[in-house]
Amino acid sequence: MKRVAILVSGGGSNMVRLVESMTGDHPARPVLVGSNDPQAGGLVKATEMGVPTFAVDHRPFGKDRAAFEAELIRHLDAAQPDILCLAGFMRILTPGFIRHYEGRMLNIHPSLLPKYKGLHTHARALEAGETEAGCTVHEVTAELDDGPILGQARVAIEPGDTPETLAARVLVQEHQLYPAMLRRFAESL
């Protein structure tokens, strides 16, 4: 049985779907949910689902990313994860952290990579006059939002869409894509 740790920064809706998916004949189980924000709503949801949690507030570390990440790794590795899923985790990770989990770290990004890496993806797609948008599950490598793509889901951009209406439509697809890609990845290990 593969052990999955998940990092969140906010509400954790993707984390909830991942945890809910790991049942029955699924080859993986959630072992830990962590956050850089002790107030993250995702931590409450994880606890309600019976998954152990931790938080490392990144703010006291200031610019010392390495020290913050060392503390993340201390908590994560105590749970001995086989797979690390980033799910709405909003901190940039250093190559050192990524090397530690290279080959077993996934992320979901709300755009059709390689388009719209970085933030504000929906506003930028609308601004550019795109006719479709979507989300991507990819392996995390040292280059931001750039690793091997495991899968994508597309949605049409509708007339009158705002970043909020588009984000809501894409999020529905994220909630289906990420669990499917995690299962396929876990089966491949």
Quick check: helix, strand or coil at residue 89?
Answer: coil
Residue 125 binds ligand GRF, judged by CB under 6 A: no
Cα–Cα distance, 11 to 14 (Å, whole number): 9
Least distance from C-beta 101 to ligand GRF, angstroms?
A: 17
Among 30, 81, 110, 134, binds ligand GRF (CB under 6 A): 110
Q: Does 149 bind ligand GRF (CB under 6 A)?
A: no
Q: What residues have CB less than 8 Å from 87, skipping those under 6 apart?
A: 6, 7, 8, 12, 14, 15, 18, 42, 107, 108, 178
**Candidates 109, 122, 138, 175; catalytic one:** 109
Active site residue 109: yes
Q: Within 10 Å of residue 75's Cβ, how many Cβ atoms?
A: 16
Q: What is the dihedral of CA 35, 40, 41, 46, to 10 degrees?
A: 20
10 touches ligand GRF (CB under 6 A): yes
Measured distance CA(185)–CA(105) in Å, rounded: 10
Q: Count of residues for the chain?
A: 189
* 14 binding ligand GRF? (CB under 6 A): yes
The answer to whether 108 contacts ligand GRF (rule: CB under 6 A) is yes
Minimum separation from the CB atom of position 152 to ligand GRF (A): 12
- Cβ proximity to ligand GRF: between 13 and 141 the closer is 13
CB of 40 to ligand GRF, least distance (A): 8
Q: Which residues are catalytic?
A: 109
Which residues here bind ligand GRF, judged by CB under 6 A?
A: 8, 10-15, 87-88, 108, 110, 135, 171, 174
